Each structure stands twice: as structure tokens, then as C-alpha cells.
Structure 1
Amino acid sequence: MSLDNPHSMFDVKGKVALITGASGAFGAVAARCLSGAGCKVVLAAGNADAMAEVAATCTNEVHQIKGRPDNEVACEAMVEEAAKVFGALDILVVASGMNKVAMIEDMEPSTFERVMDANVTQSWLLARAASKQMKAQGNGGKIVFVSSARGLLGHPAGYTAYCASKAAVDGITKALGCELGPTGITVNAIAPTVFRSPLTAWMFEDTEKARAVREGFLSRVPKGRLGEPEDLAGPLLFLSSAASDFYTGHILYADGGYTAG
């Protein structure tokens, strides 16, 4: 890595990346971004058809695993398969997770537990499996979680489970950043606010309801717009490459300044 050739700091050609939740909005961005940058990507998702559509957008070697990281065995198996297929595991992107919106008096405890399991426990299990593999390889590695601005800020409309889960992801990021730092493995999180995806497409529409919600939200965003998928790709490439070797335990807010004001 040289300042005379700064682009080399972002070179991930030949690296192996495991992306969970690969059929989702962020997982699709991660797959296209890292594949386009030269990574060999291993996609994991429960929806095989949607994952195949994402795989078709990848421009480099790709391997697909049908399954969700919903227990220790599944997480270990995903990491083992990624390392076996491509010979190593250099990057883990945890884009799997879920949200259930309900006011606290209407939310069943079992629903709260499912959100916490999907967003927190599964992230921890995947990091546990990946860090063991990366330590065994002895070359360091990159672990990237997907958090949210809601890990820092509350929300008035039934987000107790989601906000709590993302705050926990932030805590895991910081703790593992400290714990794994001496091994050369960095652990960071990208925390977006609202960005364009199949779930939020209605907010970009030219309807009275969409305009009202959008305008209320944009009054808090200094950049004056909602996020686009490309806004997540740059931070991901940074956190997946040697450019971020001195960065660990960080929460990188991809939010147009939303959390700054």
C-alpha cells in the first residue's frame, strides 16, 4: 500500500466475501459492489429465487448457499463452505436481519425475541464463526455488520425491538473491535438511514402520503434527500479493504447527516 498509488488501498481483487441476507436490499448492494471490485462472493439467503437474481448481477465468481444463519450450526456451516469453495474467507458482511413494527403494548414478547435473535444473536454467531476461520488463516480479515441510525436514535412508531437490536449490534461492533484488534481482524458497522429499497420504494413515489412522510423526514437530513443504494457501496468497499486497516469498532453512519443534527 502506497500513497503514490492510493487506489491500491481499496483493492479487494481475489478476496473472498461471505454475504448473508444476500437477497435483501443491502445484501444485493454488497454482492454487486464487492463482486464488481473483484471479490469472489459467497451469497447466503433463505429465498433461493431472489438470491439467484442477485447472483446474476455479480460480475465475478459467485457461489450460493440456500439457508439462514439462524443457529450456531448454520453459521459455522456457511463459513466452512465459503472457505472450502474459494480457499479462504477474508470478508464477512452480515446483511441478514429483520424488523417488526408494533407499539410496545401490542408487541408479543416472542416477536421482540425474534427481532433480537435475527439482528443480534445471528450477527454474533456469524462473527464468532468467521473470526475463528480468519484467525486460523493468520492474515486478518474484515467483518462488517449492518446497523442503523436507529441504533443511536429512537423512533416514535413501534420500533422498540428494532432500536434495541441495532444498539446491541453497535455494542458488539465496539466490543469485538477491541477484542479482535490484535489479530488483524477489523470489525465495523454501516448504519444507514432510509435508503431506496423494495421496502421503502413507496416513500419515493409522487403521492400525497409519500410526500408528507418524505418532507417530514427530509427536514432532519442536511443533505436534503433520501439514500440511494450507491451511498452504501462506498462505505462498504472502504470497510472491506486495506484502506480501513486502522479503523475498528466504528459505526459509520450513511445518513446524509441525519444523526449529526
Structure 2
Amino acid sequence: MNLQLNGKNVLVTGGSKGIGKAIAKAFVEEGANVAIIARDLVHLKEAKKELGNIVLYQADLTEKTERERVFRQFIHDFGSLDILINNAGGSNGSSVMETDLSLFYEAMELNYFSAVHLSQLAVREMKKKQSGSIINITSIYGRESGGKVTYNNAKAALISFTKALANEVAPYGIRVNSVAPGSVLHPTGNWQRRLEENPEGIRKFVQEQIPAGRFGTPEEIANVVVFLASNKASWIVGATMNVDGGQSKMNF
């Protein structure tokens, strides 16, 4: 299927490894002009070796001034923005009572406020062209219990934000949606670490909790993202799509 993404200007946050890198690669393969943002310069350079003709931006997206700086640089370099992928994120802490309040703030800044702020900046640019697509990478654990509480809280907020912004900007030709992955295995992710620490326990988790009988791959998430960003998905607005091999317990 030709997704008609050739020449589109795409910005992917958290794009140097894992799901973010797979998303960036999928857009490159569709002929898009791609830039990625990450904190770690080493991982950024490794991603460029693998992906080729992409632009790298090193920034700490928990900082408001850094988000503004890197966004201005993107517009300077590319001229306009067609697609924003808010993928930057991570988990911290443990149970509610054992997690310091500062970690709740940290999780919200990385997983939620970075996406909100960059979306605001993106919409201002996209309105000029009366078109655009914003996709937030959330989680099935933003819709049901599971995982760490700080992460779940932030992803739940991001799912709610996705719908609110989508309804607000749809009249301007801008579509906002989110993709909610289930458990995805990749070399730099938490599931890989857990698998190495407790292989039998993780195999049992997969057998009992994921009907498909295996972890997902970053590429399987990326395939949904590029479709959702394309005009082939033009009637999908404000949706959060589970990509989880049946793992979620939800009925919708």
C-alpha cells in the first residue's frame, strides 16, 4: 500500500532506540523527511548509522526551554511540520506510597507535558497548511491497571489529552490520535531486562497474559503509526488504538 508519505516532514521524539527508532525507520522507508530527538548523543549517532538520512536533535524534553529550542530548530531546518510523533517516555518509582512525589512530577513532565507542549507548538505550524497529523504513543496501561503507577497516570492523562486536542483541531485539517502498545520486547527496553533477570517468570507472564503468545515488536507498533499518520486513515480522529496481541482486558 502506498501511504503517500513521500516528502512529508516528520518529527519523532524518543527516536533513538526501541519503538521510536522503529517508527523513524518506517517513515524513512516511506520516503519521508525524518528528524529524531533524544537525550543520549551516543544512541542518536547509532540510530543515524542504522537509518541513514535523518536529522538528529539532542535535547532533554523534560525542559520547556529545550522543547522550544529544538522545535524552532526543526522548523528552521525543514520549513514546516507535517507529522509529530510524541514517543518520548519512561517509567519510574514503584507503589504509590513508596514513590517520592518528585518522581510523579518527573514522569508527568516526560510522558505527558512534553507531548502537550510539543503538540501546541505543532498545531500552530500545522494550522498554516490546514493539515497535519499528531500521534501520541500511550499504553494499554493508560486504560487499565498494570505497570508502574507514575507511568500509568501519565499515559492515562495523555489518552484523555489526545481526544480533547483531536476534537479541537479537526476543523483545521489536523488529526490527533494515539497508539497504545502492549508489552513490546526490544534490546534496550524494560521487558528485555526482566527477561534476563527472570526468564521463567516472564515466559509465564507471556503465556498467561498475552493471548498471541509472544511479545510484540517495535516494528509492529511502527506499522500502525505510519498508517495512522497517512491519509489512508483520514477518518480516524481522536482514537486510541491498542496494539497488543490481545493483551488488554478492555472490551473497547
1:14 aligns with 2:3: no
One of 226, 230, 236 as aligned partner of 2:225: 236
Instruction: Show the 5 A alignment for 1:88-107.
Output: 88-107=80-99
Q: 1:45 pairs with 38, 41, 64, which one?
A: 38
Report how far residue 202 of structure 1 moved: 3.9
Q: Distance in 1 between matches of 2:14 and 2:183?
A: 18
Residue 73 of structure 2 is matched in structure 1 by 81
TM-score (norm 1): 0.89
Equivalent of 1:131, from 123, 127, 142? Answer: 123
Task: Verify the 8 A CA contact 1:203 1:214 in the aligned structure 2.
Answer: no
Structure-2 residue corresponding to 1:226? 215
Deviation of 1:167 after TM superposition, in Å, equals: 0.3
Aligned mate of 2:235, from 233, 241, 246: 246
Please tell me the residue identity of whatever aligns with 1:104: V
Partner Cα distance (1:248, 1:71) in 2:
29
CA distances 1:160-202 after superposition (whole Å, capped 9, x unpaired): 1111111001001111111111111111111111111222224
Identity %: 26
User: Which blocks of at least 5 consecutive residues in structure 1 are unaligned?
Assistant: 1-6
1:175 to 2:164 alignment? yes
Contact 1:31 1:54 in 2 (8 A): no
Aligned-partner residue type, residue 237 of structure 2: T
Deviation at 1:204, TM superposition (A): 5.0
Please, which moves more after superposition, 186-195 or 209-218?
209-218
Contact preservation (8 Å) 1:24, 1:95:
no
Q: Name the residue aligned to 1:151.
A: 142
Normalised by the length of structure 2, the TM-score is 0.92
Is 1:24 aligned to 2:13, yes or no? Answer: no
Structure 2 spans left out of the alignment, 5+ residues? none
Does the 8 Å CA contact 2:82/2:126 hold for their aligned counterparts?
A: yes
CA distance in 2, matches of 1:57, 1:24: 11
SS of the residue corresponding to residue 105 of structure 1 reads coil
Distance 2:193 2:64 in 1: 36
Residues 120 and 57 of structure 1, relative CA distance in 2, 3 Å threshold: same
Q: For residues 203 and 97 of structure 1, what CA distance do their matches in structure 2 show? A: 18
- 1:184 alignment partner AA: G
Q: Hey, what does 1:70 align to over in structure 2?
A: 62
SS at 2:70 equivalent: helix
Is the aligned partner of 1:140 residue 2:169? no
